[in-house]
Amino acid sequence: MKYTSSGNKDTRSGFGAGLYELGKTNPNVVALCADLVGSLKMDDFIKENPHRFIQVGIAEANMIGLAAGLTIGGKIPFAGTFAAFATGRVYDQIRQVVAYSNKNVKICASHAGLTLGEDGATHQMLEDIGMMKMLPNMTVIVPCDYNQTKAATLAIAEHIGPVYLRFGRPAVPNFTPADQKFEIGKAQLLVEGSQVTIFATGHMVWKALEAADILEQKGISAEVINIHTIKPLDEKSILKSVAKNRCVVTAEEHMMNGGLGDSIAQLLARKMPTPIEMVAVNDTFGESGKPEELLVKYGLDTPNIVDAAQKVLTRK
Amino acid sequence: MADIEFLKKMAAQVRRDVIRMVHKPASGHPGGSLGCADFFTALYFEVMNINPKNFTMDGIGEDVFFLSNGHLSAAWYSVMARRGFFDIAELSTFRLLNSRLQGHPTTAEHLPGVRVASGSLGQGLSVACGAALAKKLNGDQSLVYTLHGDGELQEGQIWEAVLFAAAKKIDNLIATVDYNGKQIDGTVDEVVTFGNLKAKWESFGWEVLETNGNNMEELLATFAAAKSKTGQGKPIVILMRTEMGMGVDFMMGTHKWHGKAPNDDEFARAMAQLPETIGDF
């Protein structure tokens, strides 16, 4: 394996660390939370900047409106809650006063996907990328590990406009550099390969790296590209890799409808029709269980990516 | 102090503007706009400290207003144009293709005066609370104003914000409810009654004032009283009794003109009741 993990860490703590740093460096950053401060790892920011934290209580619709209002006055609000409550519950609010009004609001969504685990399907948000990417003006970012989530948190404060930042609950391998600069909208080539390209996002990026390793042992050269920005999609980098390898696997902890695979398939259908296999949740809700058990049961594990790569190669 | 006669003339002209604006595209919401013409006129020509010629999105150092019930756009646009935010000639483009004067207000067309989109109801009070908190963070002493429909108060998000504003002592906010008792499907009491609306706001911890929104003298006095109560730890709401359709006899006393434009005959009858006081656009 080309990459080594410095140890398992949760991406939400990367968000917390980024927010804490922004508290020191950007006086306009304001944080809001709907009664999930500990889960969102906001404690350090709040301790240092109590006057720049707004505890909204269990009222997510109000939180989105408050965030939009805070931008009127020059603030940069980071509104945090679970992905389920940060999107589906408040879609109309985001649509009208954030996206359509083009406000500089950062929607910070933790506990996304199946790996929220034992809380089950009510909390396992698998449709958020789809909902958010459909909104004009919205930027959609899904970093892959702790370090990248921290870097992304810093980067979105500098980006003017609405952003949806998606991260998760479980501790996962932390393998990207601590000092990285996060470039919004730029695909990240992690492994070069010459036969198949795997586009992955979020927690699935590490699994894609593991899959590439297994494929190499089988004599298959797989390219791995981290699509941390779902929107705007880095079409140029995607098409460049696909032009070379001519077959594609996508991997994401999200519904197949509306996710990363959907975005890439749409791009390729328009510009470079290519065989594609998608590793994603296929039109079903999740359930309670341990994160790794759920990834296995719902077909989002490393062997699923390996299988998908081998299958798509036969369709080349 | 305001020239009351001028304000009354302006409100009359705004009513005339509203009917002309909704007649041309045969679309819009005249009822509430007519009912609130006095409110918008008082707010923009007397109550608020604003810079119409140098509109800034941030609104730092000036009072800001949010129209939560965005369907009252016609009257709001008319008053903003006449206050100098944009040319009154643009009022003739209301609801037409390629206009900055969208059916419901938006920032997307960069119309000076609009700071957030509204139309989907129940969201403006939350936005206003956010703007009011930003003013506090900025040490900005100016105020935040809103308007809501009474029917709009059926939206749950309103009560999230009502609870929040009192809990966080947002005392640089003056909300107003257009208490005309009517909504699309009938009277508010028929649809989902509020019971004692004043008691509800008071129980949430708000300072509640009541006024007649179709009486300019009373409106100005109420706003002066509301301003005097800012900075005392409580958000302020004005329950403003208005008559939907005010100024056009056949549009009053009914909810039927909430969202319906007059035909040519009705337009002529309405125009006969609405004198040109300042000058048409």
Q: Which helix H or strand E contains B83, and what residues bound it?
A: helix B73-83
- Residue A235 confidence class, pLDDT cut points 50, 70, 90: very high
Question: How far apart, in whole angstroms, are the C-alpha atoms of residue B242 and residue B215?
Answer: 9
* Cβ <8 Å between A97 and B133: no
Contact present, B77 and B103 (Cβ < 8 Å) = no
Residues of A recognised as catalytic: 60
For residue A165, the cross-strand partners are A108, A141
Q: Is residue A206 a contact partner of residue A145, using CB atoms and an 8 Å limit?
A: yes
Tell me how far apart the alpha carbons of residues A10 and A169 are, in angstroms, rounded to a whole number.
6
B131/A70 CB distance under 8 A: yes
**Chain pair A-B, CB pairs under 8 angstroms:** 117
The answer as to whether B57 is a domain residue is yes
pLDDT value of position B1: 56
| pLDDT at position A315 | 97
- CB of A31 within 8 Å of a chain B CB? The answer is no
Which residue's structure tokens are 């590990």? A145
The answer to whether B133 contacts A70, with C-beta atoms less than 8 Å apart, is: yes
What is residue B229's DSSP assignment?
T
The domain in which residue B114 lies consists of 4-273
Give the number of domains in chain B. Answer: 1
User: Bridge partners of B179?
Assistant: B241
Buried b (16+ CB within 10 A) or exposed e, A125-143: bbbbbbbbbebeebbbbbb
Interface probe with B: pick from A26, A64, A66, most Cβ of B within 10 Å? A66
Give the pair of three-digit tokens for residue A95.
């649509």
| A77 close to B (CB below 8 A) | yes
User: Is B281 a member of any domain?
Assistant: no
Q: What is the CATH number of the domain that holds B128?
A: 3.40.50.970
* Confidence class for position A2, pLDDT limits 50, 70, 90: confident
3-state secondary structure of B66: strand
Domain membership flag for residue B180: yes
Question: Which pLDDT belongs to residue A1?
Answer: 84
Residue B24 lies in a domain: yes
**Residue B47 is assigned to a structural domain of this protein:** yes
How far apart CA A231 and CA A7 sit, in angstroms, is 29
- Percent of chain B having pLDDT more than 70? 100
Q: Is B59 on the interface with A (CB under 8 A)?
A: yes
- Average pLDDT along chain B: 97
Angle at A131 between CA B57 and CA B101, to 5 degrees: 35
For residues B244 and B269, give the distance between their C-alpha atoms in angstroms, rounded to a whole number: 17
The shortest CB-CB distance from B127 to any of A69, A95, A102 is to A69
Query: Would an 8 Å CB–CB cutoff place A166 in contact with chain B?
Result: no
Angle, vertex CA A223, rays to CA A222 and CA A226, nearest 5? 135
Q: Exposed, middle or buried, B9 (CB in 10 Å: 0-12/13-18/19+)?
A: middle
Domain contains B17: yes
Residue A73 and residue B137: Cβ atoms within 8 Å? yes
Q: Are strands A248-255 and A276-281 parallel, antiparallel or unpaired?
A: parallel
Q: What is the average per-residue pLDDT within A29-58?
A: 98
Of B58, B156, B164, the CB nearest to A57: B164
Residues B175-234 have pLDDT tens digits of 999 999 999 999 999 999 999 999 999 999 999 999 999 999 999 999 999 999 999 999
Q: Can you tell me whether residue B89 is helix, strand or coil?
A: helix
Does the residue B279 lie in any domain? no
pLDDT in tens, A183-211: 999 999 999 999 999 999 999 999 999 99
Contact state of A92 with B156 under an 8 Å Cβ cutoff: no
**Which tokens in the block code for residue A260?**
């990363």
Q: Does the CB of A56 have a partner CB in chain B at under 8 Å?
A: yes
Q: Between A52, A70, A102, which is nearest B130 by CB? A: A70
Residue B156 binned pLDDT confidence (cut-offs 50, 70, 90): very high
Note the pLDDT of residue B114: 98
Q: Percentage of residues in chain B with pLDDT exceeding 90?
A: 99
**Residue B115 forms contact with A (CB below 8 Å):** yes
Residue of A96, A102, A103, A160 to mutate, testing the B interface (most B Cβ within 10 Å of its Cβ):
A96
Tokens found for residue A2 = 């080309």
Instruction: Tell me, yes or no, whether B258 lies in a domain.
Output: yes
Six token digits for residue B248? 């056009």
Q: Measured between CB atoms, does A285 come within 8 Å of chain B?
A: no
Rounded to an integer, what distance in angstroms lies between the CA atom of residue B186 and that of residue B198? Answer: 21
Q: For all residues of chain A together, what is the average pLDDT?
A: 98
Give the relative orientation of helices A11-25 and A146-158 as an angle to the nearest 10 degrees. Answer: 40
